[in-house]
């Protein structure tokens, strides 16, 4: 019996034909005669593209609409095509403004700072350009910004040209103006048909604040409703409540003429909406409300906030309890609507990632099935991007008005979002939680004429102002410009005295001033009036300074190197002395300078060997030494030098020269031995001043063989070699049959 328990109804409308307004018109026309109009104070109603500056009263709503000339710059006004004109139900649909130029075009509507508003933009393409853009198969869409933050895209691809699409946002005015910008995505010319701003009570939609706005995803009312859209004057705030499209059986419509109390001031749902509801037949227990993504609406990435409005309007005293689910789970358990009193269910500030799929399920204890009166679903808009500092924005807007700079892209917020910032401005975004400030204004060669705009002088963050190559006349006003570091007024028609405050700052070096090419310079010879400086300085500074700096660095580097090389002396030597790890041996370590001194600047060479040159030297105590300086090539490969020194220093033998000391650092690698005045062994063996007889030679050989560190004694026939290797390199003596070699 339970197979068909679920009654499903869904809607996906976000746009509608021109005809709905026609239907509405008829109904309201009859109502208006009986009912007094609620106040429209604070309503801003703009019929975009309407060219007659006198306002008109809308036939259906009795709301006064005005042309858009005061709230927008640029754009072209158009009328929808002839054939669709006849079907138009109101004036707003008939005209529109398109923006073929510029990537961002903004409407600015006067508001009260900090006040909450409902803002609605309406779009009726109406084939105004005769290009059949919505139906030609190519994408036709553009973006909307609310202030400096992305709101939604308007996707008109494959829509009927007579469709009216609307977008609503609830937002807090960041300043004394709310702006709506149309963003050209490169997929068709953005346009707009009407703009409506409605003030809300501060208590309404409490989760909306300066950093969170909400965009209307869907807003429906239930029950047997004739008008496709319920709005003003039924709703004091002129929200658009669409009629739930499908209330056929097993859905059942309820309505009452009794007053339904609404104690809350959070949503102020119109009484008329609360007096109607939908429920289902009693043998069903689930009501599914699927608010599908509207046509051409991108619902995937949205974060949604549903708000349910309930009032039990059946006289029955039987219990009515139900659970409210979304696709992800239970949202509100065991809810029981009050009789003739509205209750709204929502999770304040909690946005869901799931689809807008809702299920109202009767609880087991309930006698009656679920019921619903109205449903609002909003999507989250983060207002993370901050508007330009309001003073800066106002002053630069004054400048814009002062010089009639309408033809520039100076539209919307000056600094934000970054990619749409005004041409010629540089802003400081560095303080992430503070509003961007204007630091540079470059209006060079902008055909400015007239006096100097004093508003510049109040921009307290302005550092760099370039107004050169214009036709500015008059005098420079004497205002304090504390932040200003660069002021270029060259090539204008300025005359009159230069204010002292500016001259003083120039002379103090805190302001870079350019005035050449102005009448004021005709008899001033100061540098700020010198032409040379103007044409060359900025370019040349940019080029020359780096070049000079680089050259200087190179020269200094060379000089430093030369200086270091020239200073071959003690400092470096001792530095190197310090940096080397000392050997743990108890012989003396010499520095290069000491060796130089000992050897009298390496003057007397006593021998040359594979290792290097041996010099004669005299120590401080007059001991003679032989200083064996290793050749540079061998320094590089002297990894075994230190072990060798270490070993030699431990060897003390009557037949071996004593190692007195050594020198070891990057510059010097040397061994200092006792000096043997009779030459080295080779000289001795070869003969010379002292020749040795055979006996002496044999003694030497035997003494050598007794050396503690000889490695090998080779005996070969016919010769006998006695080789004493001190490590691999040095063969000390060779004994042959013919004598020593
Ligand atoms: C519910 O009751 C109606 C009659 O009131 C009947 O026509 C319908 O088939 C029933 N539905 C179910 C699911 O039992
Ligand atoms: C503007 O509207 C007024 C009143 O509706 C009308 O008298 C006037 O002729 C219109 N002007 C133009 C240029 O259409
Ligand atoms: C509004 O009413 C006036 C006359 O009252 C009529 O001329 C005009 O066409 C109507 N406008 C629309 C859009 O129906
Ligand atoms: C617009 O284009 C569609 C599809 O190409 C075509 O069916 C329709 O007749 C065109 N309408 C107009 C007014 O040109
Ligand atoms: C804020 O601005 C940045 C770039 O300026 C943009 O990429 C980003 O989408 C903006 N954020 C919102 C929420 O619009
Ligand atoms: C809706 O109400 C109208 C009268 O206001 C009535 O004629 C119509 O039958 C009702 N429709 C439904 C489905 O209840
Ligand atoms: C615009 O709508 C068309 C038609 O529904 C769709 O194919 C397209 O993906 C949408 N584009 C965007 C960017 O949402
Ligand atoms: C309304 O209440 C009556 C009892 O007072 C009950 O018989 C009827 O079924 C209820 N209607 C709905 C639609 O719940
Ligand atoms: C519902 O209960 C109230 C009192 O609680 C009573 O006055 C009223 O008549 C009852 N209505 C029905 C339809 O039983
Ligand atoms: C704005 O509201 C959101 C929740 O809706 C909250 O998380 C946030 O802190 C609020 N921000 C401010 C500045 O009040
Ligand atoms: C600049 O600020 C001063 C006070 O701070 C004010 O009196 C003056 O009117 C301002 N000037 C402009 C051009 O707004
Ligand atoms: C200044 O104005 C004259 C005409 O008044 C014009 O010829 C000239 O080009 C202008 N100079 C600049 C820099 O705009």
**With pLDDT > 90 as the criterion, what percentage of the chain qualifies?**
47
Write out the two tokens for 238.
């002129």
**Residues 166, 126: Cα–Cα separation, whole Å:** 14
Write out the two tokens for 409.
């892209």
**Residues 693, 741: Cα–Cα separation, whole Å:** 13
- 3-state SS, 271-330, equals HHHHCEEEEECCCCCEEEEEECCCCCCCCCCCCEEEEEEECECCCCCCCECEEEEECCEE
**CATH number for the domain running over 583-674:** 3.30.200.20
Distance (Å) from CA 253 to ligand 6 centroid: 9
Q: Which atom of ligand 1 is nearest to the CA of 4?
A: 13
pLDDT reported for residue 526: 80
Reported for 343-347, long-range contacts at CB under 8 A and 24+ positions apart, including other chains, are 343/309, 343/310, 343/311, 344/264, 344/266, 344/267, 344/269, 344/307, 344/308, 344/309, 344/310, 345/307, 345/308, 345/310, 346/305, 346/306, 346/307, 346/308, 347/305
pLDDT reported for residue 729: 40
Backbone angles phi, psi at 644, to 5 degrees: -65, -45
Among the residue ranges 181-185, 304-308, 676-680, the one predicted with the least confidence is 676-680
pLDDT reported for residue 623: 83
pLDDT tens digit sequence for 634-685:
554 556 566 666 766 666 656 566 778 888 776 677 888 888 776 655 665 5
628 annotated ligand binder: yes
Q: Which atom of ligand 6 is nearest to the CA of 224?
A: 1
Mutate to test the pocket of ligand 7, among 139, 297, 299 (most ligand atoms within 8 A of CB): 139
Mutate to test the pocket of ligand 12, among 444, 471, 472 (most ligand atoms within 8 A of CB): 471
Per-residue exposure over 447-464, b if at least 16 CB sit within 10 Å of its own CB, e if not: ebeeebbebbbebbbbbb
- 3-state SS, 370-425, equals CEECEEEEEEEEECCCCCCCHHHHHHHHHHHHHCCCCCCCCCCCCCCCHHHCCCCE
Of 388, 392, 385, the residue nearest 435 (C-alpha) = 388
Write out the two tokens for 241.
């409540």
Is 255 a residue whose pLDDT tops 90?
A: yes
pLDDT reported for residue 658: 75
pLDDT tens digit sequence for 595-634:
888 888 888 887 776 567 888 888 888 888 888 887 655 5
Is 403 a residue whose pLDDT tops 50?
A: yes
Q: Which atom of ligand 9 is nearest to the CA of 316?
A: 13
Contact of 630 with 612, CB cutoff 8 Å: yes
pLDDT reported for residue 481: 78
Q: Which atom of ligand 1 is nearest to the CA of 281?
A: 1
Is 59 a residue whose pLDDT tops 50?
A: yes
For ligand 9, atom 13, which residue shows the shortest CA distance?
316
Q: Which residues pair with 438 in a beta bridge?
A: 427
Among the residue ranges 283-297, 446-460, 471-485, the one predicted with the least confidence is 283-297
What is this structure's pTM?
0.70
DSSP class of 530: -
Is 472 a residue whose pLDDT tops 80?
A: yes
**Residues 323, 331: Cα–Cα separation, whole Å:** 8
Angstrom distances, CA of residue 531 to CA of 57, 159, 506, 524, 525: 62, 62, 17, 12, 10
Q: pLDDT: is 640 or 201 the higher one?
A: 201
Q: Which atom of ligand 2 is nearest to the CA of 56?
A: 5
Q: pLDDT: is 550 or 257 the higher one?
A: 257
pLDDT reported for residue 100: 95
H helix or E strand, kind and range, residue 25? helix 19-34
**Residues 6 or more apart whose Cβ sits within 8 Å of residue 173:** 111, 112, 113, 114, 115, 116, 117
Q: Looking at the CA of 15, which ligand is closest?
A: 7
Is 30 a residue whose pLDDT tops 60?
A: no
pLDDT reported for residue 298: 66
Is 546 a residue whose pLDDT tops 60?
A: no
For ligand 2, atom 10, which residue shows the shortest CA distance?
52
Q: Is 37 in the pocket of ligand 2 (CB under 6 A)?
A: no
Reported as a pLDDT band with limits 50, 70 and 90, residue 741 is very low
Q: Is 523 in the pocket of ligand 2 (CB under 6 A)?
A: no
Average pLDDT value for residue range 437-441: 95
Among the residue ranges 105-119, 348-362, 682-696, the one predicted with the least confidence is 682-696
Average pLDDT value for residue range 699-705: 61
Reported as a pLDDT band with limits 50, 70 and 90, residue 692 is low
Domain spans of the chain?
44-200, 237-382, 390-532, 583-674, 681-740
Among the residue ranges 125-129, 289-293, 326-330, 528-532, the one predicted with the least confidence is 528-532
Residue 48's Cβ-count burial label (10 Å; 0-12, 13-18, 19+) is buried
**Residues 407, 413: Cα–Cα separation, whole Å:** 16
Q: Looking at the CA of 447, which ligand is closest?
A: 12
pLDDT tens digit sequence for 323-373:
999 988 899 999 999 999 999 999 988 888 877 889 999 999 999 999 999
The vertex-37 CA angle with 32 and 40, nearest 5°, equals 135
Looking at every residue in the chain, the average pLDDT score rounds to 80
User: What is the residue whose two structure tokens read 């358990």?
Assistant: 333
pLDDT reported for residue 610: 59
Distance (Å) from CA 736 to ligand 1 centroid: 131
Q: pLDDT: is 731 or 676 the higher one?
A: 676
The domains spanning 390-532 and 583-674 adopt the same CATH topology = no
**Residues 6 or more apart whose Cβ sits within 8 Å of residue 503:** none
- The CATH number for 390-532, chosen from 3.40.50.11540, 3.40.50.2300, 3.80.10.10, 3.40.50.300, is 3.80.10.10
pLDDT reported for residue 685: 58
According to DSSP, the β-strands at 425-428 and 374-382 are unpaired
Of 133, 141, 49, 55, the residue nearest 88 (C-alpha) = 49
Contact of 497 with 473, CB cutoff 8 Å: no
Distance (Å) from CA 283 to ligand 1 centroid: 6
pLDDT reported for residue 656: 61
Residue 615 exposure: Cα atoms within 13 Å on the Cβ side? 19
The superfamily in CATH containing domain 44-200 is: Galactose-binding domain-like (2.60.120.260)
Mutate to test the pocket of ligand 1, among 250, 283, 362, 369 (most ligand atoms within 8 A of CB): 283
Task: State whether the Cα torsion 263-268-274-279 is positive or negative.
Answer: negative
Reported as a pLDDT band with limits 50, 70 and 90, residue 582 is low
pLDDT reported for residue 670: 82
- 3-state SS, 156-192, equals CCCCCCCCEEEEEEEEECCCCEEEEEEEEEEECCCEE
Reported as a pLDDT band with limits 50, 70 and 90, residue 578 is very low
Is 735 a residue whose pLDDT tops 60?
A: no
User: What is the residue whose two structure tokens read 């190559």?
Assistant: 469
Write out the two tokens for 166.
């609307």
Q: Which atom of ligand 12 is nearest to the CA of 491?
A: 13
**CATH number for the domain running over 237-382:** 2.60.120
**Residues 577, 666: Cα–Cα separation, whole Å:** 9
Distance (Å) from CA 17 to ligand 3 centroid: 19
pLDDT reported for residue 523: 78
**With pLDDT > 70 as the criterion, what percentage of the chain qualifies?**
73
DSSP class of 733: -
Average pLDDT value for residue range 428-437: 90
Using alpha carbons only, how large is the chain's radius of gyration in Å? 48
Task: State whether the Cα torsion 352-358-364-367 is positive or negative.
Answer: positive
Is 1 a residue whose pLDDT tops 50?
A: no
H helix or E strand, kind and range, residue 478? none
Q: Please give all residues whose beta carbon lies within 6 A of any atom in ligand 3, as ranges.
A: 59, 90-91
Among the residue ranges 163-172, 582-591, 698-707, the one predicted with the least confidence is 698-707
């Amino acid at each position: 019996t339970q197979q068909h328990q679920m009654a499903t109804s869904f809607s996906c409308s976000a746009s509608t034909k021109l005809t709905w307004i026609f239907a509405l018109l008829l109904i309201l026309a009859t109502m208006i005669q009986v009912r007094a109009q609620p106040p429209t104070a604070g309503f801003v109603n703009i019929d975009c593209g309407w060219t007659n500056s006198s306002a008109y009263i809308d036939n259906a709503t009795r709301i006064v609409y005005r042309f858009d000339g005061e709230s927008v710059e640029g754009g072209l006004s158009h009328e929808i095509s002839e054939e669709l004109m006849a079907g138009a139900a109101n004036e707003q649909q008939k005209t529109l403004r398109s923006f073929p130029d510029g990537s961002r075009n903004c409407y600015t509507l006067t508001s009260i700072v900090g006040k909450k508003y409902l803002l609605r933009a309406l779009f009726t393409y109406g084939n105004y350009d005769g290009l059949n853009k919505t139906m030609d198969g190519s994408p036709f869409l553009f973006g909307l910004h609310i202030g400096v933050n992305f709101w939604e895209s308007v996707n008109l691809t494959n829509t009927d040209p007579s469709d009216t699409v609307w977008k609503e946002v609830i937002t807090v005015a960041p300043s004394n103006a709310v702006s709506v910008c149309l963003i050209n995505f490169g997929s068709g010319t953005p346009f707009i048909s009407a703009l409506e701003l409605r003030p809300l009570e501060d208590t309404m939609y409490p989760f909306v604040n300066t950093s969170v706005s909400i965009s209307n995803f869907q807003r429906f009312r239930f029950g047997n409703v004739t008008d496709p859209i319920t709005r003003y004057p039924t709703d004091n705030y002129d929200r658009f409540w669409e009629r739930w499209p499908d209330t056929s059986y097993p859905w059942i419509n309820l309505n009452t003429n009794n007053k339904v109390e609404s104690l809350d001031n959070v949503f102020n749902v119109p009484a008329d909406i609360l007096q109607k509801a939908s429920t289902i037949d009693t043998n069903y227990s689930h009501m599914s409300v699927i608010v599908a993504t509207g046509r051409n609406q991108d619902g995937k990435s949205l974060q949604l906030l549903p708000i349910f409005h309930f009032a039990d309007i059946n006289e029955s005293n039987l219990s009515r309890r139900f659970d409210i689910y979304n696709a992800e789970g239970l949202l509100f358990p065991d809810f029981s609507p009050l009789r003739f009193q509205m209750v709204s269910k929502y999770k304040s500030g909690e946005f869901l990632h799931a689809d807008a799929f809702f299920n109202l399920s009767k609880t087991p204890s309930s006698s009656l099935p679920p019921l619903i009166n109205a449903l609002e679903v909003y999507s989250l808009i983060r207002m993370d991007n901050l508007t330009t500092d309001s003073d800066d924005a106002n002053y630069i807007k004054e400048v814009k008005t002062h010089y009639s700079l309408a033809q520039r892209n100076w539209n919307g917020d000056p600094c934000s979002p970054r990619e749409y910032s005004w041409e010629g401005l540089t802003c400081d975004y560095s303080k992430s939680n503070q509003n961007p400030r204007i630091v540079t204004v470059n209006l060079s060669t902008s055909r400015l004429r007239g006096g100097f705009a004093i508003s510049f002088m109040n921009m307290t963050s302005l550092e760099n102002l370039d107004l050169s190559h214009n036709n500015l006349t008059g005098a420079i006003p004497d205002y304090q410009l504390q932040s200003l570091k660069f002021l270029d007024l060259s090539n204008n028609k300025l005359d009159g005295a230069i204010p002292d405050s500016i001259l003083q700052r120039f002379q103090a070096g805190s302001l870079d001033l350019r005035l050449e090419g102005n009448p004021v310079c005709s008899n001033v010879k100061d540098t700020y009036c010198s032409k040379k400086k103007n044409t060359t300085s900025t370019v040349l500074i940019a080029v020359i300074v780096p070049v000079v700096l680089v050259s200087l660095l190179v020269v200094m580097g060379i000089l430093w190197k030369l200086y270091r090389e020239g200073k071959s002396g003690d400092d470096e030597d001792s530095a190197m002395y310090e940096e080397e790890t000392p050997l743990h041996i108890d012989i003396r370590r010499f520095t290069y300078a000491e060796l130089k001194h000992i050897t009298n600047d390496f003057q007397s060479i006593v021998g040359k060997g594979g290792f290097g040159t041996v010099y004669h030297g005299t120590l401080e105590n007059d001991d003679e030494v032989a200083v064996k300086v290793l050749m540079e090539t061998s320094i590089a490969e002297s990894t075994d030098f230190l072990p060798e020194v270490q070993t030699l220093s431990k060897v003390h033998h009557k037949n071996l020269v004593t190692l007195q000391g050594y020198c070891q650092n990057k510059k010097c690698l040397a061994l200092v031995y006792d000096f043997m005045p009779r030459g080295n062994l080779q000289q001795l063996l070869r003969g010379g001043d002292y020749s040795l007889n055979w006996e002496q030679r044999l003694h030497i050989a035997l003494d050598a063989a007794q050396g503690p560190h000889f490695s090998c004694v080779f005996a070969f026939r016919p010769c006998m070699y006695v080789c004493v290797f001190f490590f691999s390199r040095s063969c000390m003596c060779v004994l042959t049959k013919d004598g020593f070699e």
